[in-house]
Amino acid sequence: MSVFVKYIKEMSAFFKNAGSPGAPLPWDSPPSTPQRGADTPPAALREPCTIPLKMCQVTRKQCPPDTENRYFEVISASRTNSVFLRAKDPAMAQSWYNGIQAGSANLLPQVKEDMKDMQSSLEVKHVGWITEQVSQGPEKPVLAVLTDRDLLLYPSLPDSKESLNNPTKSHPLITTRLVHSGPGKTSPLLESELSFGLRTGTKQGVETHVFRVDSTRDLSTWTHLLVEGCHNAAELVQEVTTACSWNGKECTLGVHIDEGFTLFTEDAGVRKSVLLQQPFERLRMSSDDGVRMIFLDFGGSESEIVSSYSNLTFTVVPRPSSSSSTRSSLLRSSDWV
């Protein structure tokens, strides 16, 4: 399925002079009253343009100022072709917008199958276009591929195993947490936009990324799948560890799905002695400085500050749960960064 677009030199004359509703429009005829001073369009624009619906992006956010809600843009999956389309009224624009999006969505299973054929070990949960918002410079539309372990970002639809295995950026779900979803409230950057924010732990510290979507359906889908993916990643990994210092001692902090938090020393890769161990139920609050320090408050004199040698790669913030919940369910309801 494709979108086929043919260029009309000037549209108003055709709408004014069109005959009966069933009569064909004279596509190649010049308008009856040419616009004085109108520039002659390049020859390339006069040629028909075909954009495959497979993984194309349909958006209104990158269009020219549109107070009448009649514009939308269609961009090919390869990012090599795009067209701005203007309908005669908002209802027609919305109808075409919805129709093209629906056609593209119907091809999503085929996109997942193609990726599976290129990389059999890749378990793709969702694929879609999102736009990364940055504090400086233009926005960056990216193709996001959510797997069982990572959020992968590409500049265009991968068409080979090599391009699929080389995303522009990769966010491991085990070190990622959703921190915002919905219209922006405090930041001017997010005002009146539908977006979601992620914090991801890296060896350089914690990074924050904000992504914009075009519809509430897209926002709901990404929010649900990201939260679910982070929880499932925790269950797959079971435990994460990082080198740290505590009370002047070099040690390791481990976060286990059943055992909670453990500070221990190692000798040749074997746990030598346990310095501190606390279940998730005892954690009252946690915070970090975004670079090296994390603060874990277990109440009373057991509040501890941990400094990671390899920089802050994760934090864990369990939400309150009922006394009947197991330790495993506590971790599943946690937010990971």
Sequence letter at residue 262: T
Taking residue 281's Cβ as centre, other Cβ atoms within 10 Å add up to 15
97: nearest Cα among 140, 125, 66:
66
| Predicted TM-score (pTM) of this structure | 0.74
Determine the pLDDT at residue 241: 85
Tens digits of residue pLDDT in 45-59: 557 788 999 999 998
CA–CA separation, 37 and 45 (whole Å): 18
Name the residue with tokens 């193709």. Answer: 143
Transcribe 139-152 into DSSP letters.
-EEEEEEEESSEEE
| Structural domains in the chain plus CATH codes | 2-106 (2.30.29), 108-237 (2.30.29.30), 239-336 (2.30.29)
CA angle, residues 131, 164, 101, in degrees to nearest 5 = 45
Question: Which phi and psi angles does 216 have, rounded to 5°?
Answer: -65, -30
Distance of CA 13 to the CA centre of its chain: 43
Q: What is the pLDDT along the chain (337 residues), one digit of tens a residue?
A: 666 666 555 444 444 444 444 444 444 433 444 444 445 455 555 577 889 999 999 988 766 677 788 889 999 999 999 998 989 999 999 999 999 999 999 999 999 999 999 999 999 999 999 999 887 878 899 999 999 999 999 999 999 999 999 999 999 999 899 998 988 654 444 445 799 999 988 877 788 999 999 889 999 999 999 999 999 988 888 888 888 888 888 888 888 988 899 999 988 777 779 988 999 898 888 887 777 788 888 876 655 666 554 444 443 433 333 333 333 323 322 333 3
CA angle at residue 138 from 203 to 150, to 5 degrees? 35
pLDDT (0 to 100) of residue 222: 96
